[in-house]
Structure 1
């Protein structure tokens, strides 16, 4: 009897651990499915952000690991956004606009490393990454910021 309970507990703990290691999103959109004006939801890593910049492309979900180079004043017009600059490994400077009406503020300092998943928008200064939060309407790919092991979405 105790062996069966122990086995069930072991399987339950293993399942929870596996879920936490490899989270999934049932609402994740599939690239190429949906309306034509939807954002491209294919994941692009930092080596391809330079290609997006060079091609002046926007509306693509990207992920990158980068260092915070500057903390900017919050944008309080309309939805409030925490703003900061990051520099990618290839030297591209990006403005991150993180919606703090939908997601918690990230407690950042200059030189902190962050992992970011959000929507890239081209500009001549390097670009902007936004949509780094959940989407309450479930109509847009959800983004996030990871800082010191904590996920902000």
Structure 2
């Protein structure tokens, strides 16, 4: 019996996201990476997490086109998302209250930061990012 318990604990430690009780800790760790980068005024930090859309902004149509919106993270911090819609599909019908998970690159600014690189790098030199709403991935 002890062997089974030890094997389970080893499996659990290796795969913390599989069990519901650990999901909150994993999400909190992801968000703490953003909070740490913000407090340290760091940029070029690969991050992941999720938030709620608090405001949908007009698309940036000058130069490279971006779909822009503001996420409020569980910590209360806000994050401007600049999603390159020349390289990735836009999120259709995005609205306040939508839950978005993300992988991308964080850039510091005094208002909470900017998330970009939420797409695949067409040249394969940068870590790929993505946005997810429900079961749909935008990359």
TM over 0.5: yes
Please list, as runs of the form range in 1=range in 2, the aligned pairs for 1:3-152 lying within 5 A after superposition: 45-107=30-92, 108-152=94-138
Distance 1:47 1:123 in 2: 17
Residue segments in structure 1 that go unaligned for 5+ positions in a row: 1-43
Residue segments in structure 2 that go unaligned for 5+ positions in a row: 1-28
Structure with more helix by fraction:
2
> What's the CA shift for 1:45?
1.3
Secondary structure at 1:45 match in 2? helix
Distance 1:136 1:81 in 2: 16
Larger Rg computed on CA atoms: 1
TM-score, scaled to structure 1: 0.70
Distance 1:68 1:47 in 2: 19
Distance 1:125 1:133 in 2: 23
Distance 1:105 1:48 in 2: 26
Moved over 2 A (4+): none
Task: Provide, for residues 36-92 of structure 1, a one-character-per-residue CA deviation record: whole Å limited to 9, x for no partner.
Answer: xxxxxxxx7112211110000000110011000000010111110000000100010
TM-score, scaled to structure 2: 0.77
Number of residue-to-residue matches in the alignment = 110
